[in-house]
């Protein structure tokens, strides 16, 4: 549901981030490749997994704040995961 970050470190004044491989790429690319020909089961499954990912975050007090097809990644095995948490926030009582 959420893209895994294996390691992150600073090396020679650059930030290196090692993320889980999602070999089919962003949902945006898949939509473009299909040129409007969508399988209903694929759409339902993708939306289900996206909502499950958001539910996972919200139960932990995290708001993604940048949900779009560029930030939904798909793997060859059919995994659908949320990515790019640059605008996310941790909710608090304040």
- Our answer to whether residue 32 is catalytic in this structure is no
Listed in order, strand segments (DSSP E) in the chain are 5-11, 14-19, 25-26, 62-63, 72-74, 80-82, 89-90
Candidates 66, 70, 79, 84; catalytic one: 66
Cα–Cα distance, 16 to 7 (Å, whole number):
8
Q: Which residues are the active-site residues?
A: 66
């Amino acid at each position: 549901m959420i893209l895994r970050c294996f390691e992150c470190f600073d090396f020679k004044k650059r930030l290196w981030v090692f993320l889980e491989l999602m070999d089919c790429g962003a949902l945006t690319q898949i939509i473009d490749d299909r040129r409007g020909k969508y399988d209903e089961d694929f759409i339902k499954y993708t939306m289900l997994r996206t909502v499950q990912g958001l539910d996972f975050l919200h139960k932990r007090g995290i708001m993604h704040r940048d949900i779009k097809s560029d930030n939904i990644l798909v793997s060859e095995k059919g995994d659908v995961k949320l990515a790019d948490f640059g605008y996310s926030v941790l909710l608090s009582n304040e």
